[in-house]
Amino acid sequence: MPLEERNPRSSRRGGSQLRVLGASEEALHRLESAWAVNPSAGVLAAELIREYGKRGEVQQSETVLDTFAAEGPQGVLPHLRNVLANVLMDAGKEEKARQLLRKNSSLLFDQDAIDAAILARRLRDPRAAHRHFQRAGDAIDAAPRALLEFVQTKLQLAKEARWARRDDSRRQFLREARTLLERLLQLSASPTRHAWA
């Protein structure tokens, strides 16, 4: 058995190199071969879901997730559901993506929760995004993009509260957004990022 079929990371790296060189069919074939040998490898499953998504083969992406759900470690499923939700949204299947994120809601923590929150924002669902950001906990503090997205979510919820004439809620969301912005500004940043700010 070749090393690439035994080592998911090696297979993924080899596939990436082939894609860069323009041999995307061979890259896909290598990924499929490696995954056939090791269907419980989350790294390969995520890469296959993305690759099929790029090709518009959404059904194949869903099949990869279903196979992994049956054979792979359950702790990786939330990440793979986020990857598939992203593929579904790119394919214009927003309702399916929304359903997939709902399945994920109680299983998310840290970076997976942040990714789900950003996906929920893309789906124009600020309440779900807010819940996911809250589940991410302290992981948000280390991710500038997550902080900014959380601020935007709070501002969107404040706007909704204004239209519903819930002034206390609106003020609370605005205070929280301000606190998050202050945290964002305090993050250490490169001189380039400070220049853009």
Q: Where a domain ends, among 107, 137, 163?
A: 107
Residue type, 147: L
Say if residues 126 and 153 touch (Cβ distance below 8 Å). Answer: yes
| 162: nearest Cα among 153, 152, 171, 154 | 171
Residues 175 and 189 reside in one and the same domain? yes
State how far the Cα of 118 lies from the Cα of 167, in Å rounded to an integer: 26
Residue 156 domain boundaries: 112-197
If asked whether residues 79 and 119 sit together in one domain, one would say no
Based on the fold, state whether residues 95 and 134 are members of the same structural domain.
no
| One domain for residues 118 and 56 | no
**Are 90 and 3 contained in the same domain?**
yes
Question: pLDDT digits over 47-104, tens only?
Answer: 999 999 998 888 988 998 998 988 888 888 888 999 999 999 998 899 998 888 887 7
pLDDT digits (tens, 9 = 90+) for 27-51: 888 888 888 888 888 889 899 999 9
126 shares its domain with 161: yes
Of residues 107 and 178, more confidently modeled: 178
Q: Which of 94, 87, 90 is nearest to 64 (CA)?
A: 87
pLDDT tens for each residue of 135-167? 888 888 877 888 888 888 988 899 888 777 787
Do 181 and 150 share a domain, yes or no? yes
| Shared domain check, 124 and 66 | no
In contact, 34 and 44? CB cutoff 8 Å: yes
Residue 44's CATH number: 1.25.40.10
Q: Nearest-5° angle of CA 48, CA 54, CA 60?
A: 50
- In this predicted structure, what is the pLDDT of residue 87? 92
66 and 119 both lie in a single domain: no
Distance from C-alpha of 44 to C-alpha of 181, rounded to nearest angstrom? 37
Q: How far apart are CA 130 and CA 157, in angstroms?
A: 9
Is the per-residue pLDDT at 181 higher than 50?
yes
* Residue predicted with more confidence, 17 or 102: 102
**183 and 101 inside one domain:** no
- Identify the pLDDT of residue 70: 87
Domain boundary among 76, 107, 138: 107
Domain count along the chain: 2
CA distance 6 to 34: 7
Helix axes 42-54, 58-71, angle to 10 degrees: 170
Q: Which of 61, 88, 107 is the last residue of a domain?
A: 107
Specify whether 20 is located in the same domain as 95. Answer: yes
Query: What is the predicted pLDDT for the residue at 85?
Result: 92
Task: List the structure tokens of 172.
Answer: 């609370």
195's tokens: 């220049």
Taking the whole predicted model, whether its pTM rises above 0.75 is answered as: no
pLDDT score, position 48: 92
Regarding whether 36 and 119 lie in a shared domain, the answer is: no
Greater confidence, 19 or 170? 170
